[in-house]
Structure 1
Amino acid sequence: MVSSGQLSPAPPDTPATARAEIDTLTLGDLASGPGWRRPVLLDRDLLILTAGGHGTAELDFRALPCRPGTLLRVRAGQVLRCAGPHLDATVVRWDADALRGLDVDPDAVPAWLQLAGEDEDAVITEVSQLAVDCQRHHGLAAARGLLRHQLAVLLLRLSLLPEGSRPAPRAEAATFHRLCREIERGYQHTRRVEDYADRLGCSVRTLTRASLAVTGRSAKQVVDERVALQACRLLAATDEPIAQIGRRLGFSEPTNFGRFFTREVGMSPGAFRAARERPAPGPVVRPRPPADAVGGLSRA
């Protein structure tokens, strides 16, 4: 079994050495302080494979159970906190360009998987070998291709695991995926579905139909939830002033941001920030659906 206590992660980067494009580390190395006092806003993509212990990981404020064989796929820009008993886990971390030119889609891997049997054995073997090679060949340019292809194989294997839920119709799922990509580019500037329909060359009705088919929620709800999610991330993981967060998300007046946030999340921005040091018992913002860029929770 993979054990974070047995791995020796690559040495930390220094000004004299470039940051490793792909590396491995322990779960504790990600924490913002002892006991994960507050969530961490991540700037790189991760895979987290639990080898021992039981606990809970809060990924974008959604509580996910973790035990041996649990794998988490975490995207850059998400917030993470691991609460409860100690979890022994290995983290694989990579830069956005690490997979450039390879035929692999990291977003095809869901946010949560509970591995078992032969699938678990195969993933443990690949993560273990990747960890060994990251340590053994740290800083060697000649090893870049080896690590990139090992990571690609691991992601492909995870993306091919059996689906846990019935997918939406292909055409509507494709439309929804396009909408989510456009939202990622534009949510800080507009929350109008009409604007996204214009950019995608389709009607508001088409976007709403696709959103309902995939998520059971309207396109407007999907847009608003993405804005609220980003607000939650910044409130929980940074000390940025609340009014400044509102401006970053397109609200010219703090009162408008406060009303929007309270409507979406159920509490004021100030109350949410005040509670950030207490692990959340469950979802705070309704999670985005499996087909979007954040990833799903549907496979077990």
Structure 2
Amino acid sequence: MSELLGRVSPSHFASPQRPGFHLLMLFTAGKGEHFLDFRRVACKAGTLVHARPGQVQQFVLGQDLEADVLLFTPEFIFPSISVSSGTASASLIDDIATEDVTELRSDALGNIANVMSAIRRAYSKADDSRVSAAIFQHLLHAMLLMIAGHYVKRDAPSITDTHKRTFQKFRRAVDAEFKQTRSVEHYAEAIGCSAKSLRRACTIACGAPPKAVIEQRLILEAKRLLAQTGLTVEAIAIRPGFSEPTNFVKFFRRHGGIRPLDFRLKFPGARAA
């Protein structure tokens, strides 16, 4: 991480970032913090942070904190099967890396650190050949499977495989269509279940009804735009499908607990920018 932060001027990383690729950060030394979608994440050796494409993340400069940072595009990931069900999934990382931040057990940390070291050694000898690219793809695949082993052992017994799969499908559908519709019935039909089954799956998986999940996704997108862009509130209101900025401001305040411009000033990256 220190090498990455040293490549450009500090002002670049002092502002929020919204990359179109994955950042998988395995912290190896020191203690500090990282911002991921406006959450302040405590980091130390053994913390694994996964910033997905489209998420807003921000480094905190001046910390005594080190990490191995793996950057890769969604297209570089092998398609795979669900670890729990054996069914085809959209991508390996969506199916198994279900959390953005986790503290690795000692056994998982050792295995993942070993694969990370192998990737680092391969990178130092890499060329532009197909063989080199294939080596990286297989090493990345091994890394993700190591992470899967950590999550599989941590699965809560109260969440059945069926409810978990339904909730994962729902979240992917919301990510794809939240700007077009907030209809629970639409999403239930899209993922092949009844609205009642979807409500039950959401309640079991996250303790909230589907409507709340959709609304929070809208709020999250608005927060990302407020923090990472210089767009006006009027321009941001159009992105999630609000016809009137006043309706957007009321919605944001009701579900986010603060006015949009106040959020922009409150988030530390906005002041740095």
Q: Same fold per TM (> 0.5)? A: yes
Name whichever of 104-113 and 143-152 sits farther off: 104-113
Give the aligned partner of residue 96 of structure 1.
74
1:81 to 55, 58, 66: 58
- Residues matched between the structures, number: 257
- Residue by residue, what CA displacement relative to the aligned partner does 1:82-115 show, whole Å, maximum 9, x if unpaired? 3372321121011111123455711212322222
Q: Distance in 2 between matches of 1:223 and 1:271?
A: 23
Q: Distance in 2 between matches of 1:178 and 1:50?
A: 30
Cα drift, residue 215 of structure 1: 0.8
2:31 to 54, 79, 83: 54
Tell me the amino acid that sits aligned with residue 43 of structure 1: G
Q: Are 1:39 and 2:16 matched, yes or no?
A: yes
2:260 to 250, 265, 269: 269
The correspondence of residues 105-254 of structure 1 with structure 2, limited to 5 A, is 105-107=92-94, 108-109=96-97, 110-161=99-150, 162-163=153-154, 165-254=156-245
Tell me the amino acid that sits aligned with residue 256 of structure 1: N
Cα drift, residue 237 of structure 1: 1.1
Stretches of structure 2 lacking an aligned partner (at least 5 in a row): 82-90
Cα drift, residue 55 of structure 1: 0.7
Q: Distance in 1 between matches of 2:126 and 2:55?
A: 29
Identity, in percent, stands at: 29
Name whichever of 246-255 and 186-195 sits farther off: 186-195
Q: Distance in 1 between matches of 2:156 and 2:7?
A: 31
Tell me the amino acid that sits aligned with residue 50 of structure 2: R
Cα drift, residue 197 of structure 1: 2.7
What is the SS of the residue equivalent to 2:258? coil
- Residue by residue, what CA displacement relative to the aligned partner does 1:204-233 show, whole Å, maximum 9, x if unpaired? 222211111111101100000111111111
Q: What is the root-mean-square deviation of aligned Cα atoms in Å?
A: 2.5
Tell me the amino acid that sits aligned with residue 99 of structure 1: I
Tell me the amino acid that sits aligned with residue 14 of structure 2: R
Cα drift, residue 164 of structure 1: 5.9
1:31 to 1:225, Cα distance in 2 relative to 1, 3 A: farther
Q: Distance in 1 between matches of 2:197 and 2:234?
A: 35
Q: Distance in 1 between matches of 2:242 and 2:9?
A: 29
Cα drift, residue 32 of structure 1: 8.6
Give the aligned partner of residue 84 of structure 2.
none
Scaled by the length of structure 2, what TM-score is found? 0.85
Q: Which has the higher helix share?
A: 2
Q: Distance in 2 between matches of 1:30 and 1:62?
A: 26
Tell me the amino acid that sits aligned with residue 86 of structure 1: D
Give the aligned partner of residue 260 of structure 1.
251
What is the SS of the residue equivalent to 2:211? helix
Determine if contact 1:228/1:261 at 8 Å carries over to the other structure: yes
Q: Distance in 1 between matches of 2:183 and 2:40?
A: 30
Determine if contact 2:23/2:52 at 8 Å carries over to the other structure: yes
Give the aligned partner of residue 292 of structure 1.
none
Q: Distance in 2 between matches of 1:164 and 1:178?
A: 17
Name whichever of 100-109 and 88-97 sits farther off: 100-109
Tell me the amino acid that sits aligned with residue 171 of structure 2: C
Name whichever of 238-247 and 161-170 sits farther off: 161-170
Q: Distance in 2 between matches of 1:102 and 1:201?
A: 21
Name whichever of 221-230 and 80-89 sits farther off: 80-89
What is the SS of the residue equivalent to 1:78? coil
Give the aligned partner of residue 298 of structure 1.
none
Give the aligned partner of residue 287 of structure 1.
none
Stretches of structure 1 lacking an aligned partner (at least 5 in a row): 6-25, 280-300
Tell me the amino acid that sits aligned with residue 64 of structure 1: V
Q: Distance in 1 between matches of 2:12 and 2:147?
A: 30
Determine if contact 1:53/1:68 at 8 Å carries over to the other structure: yes
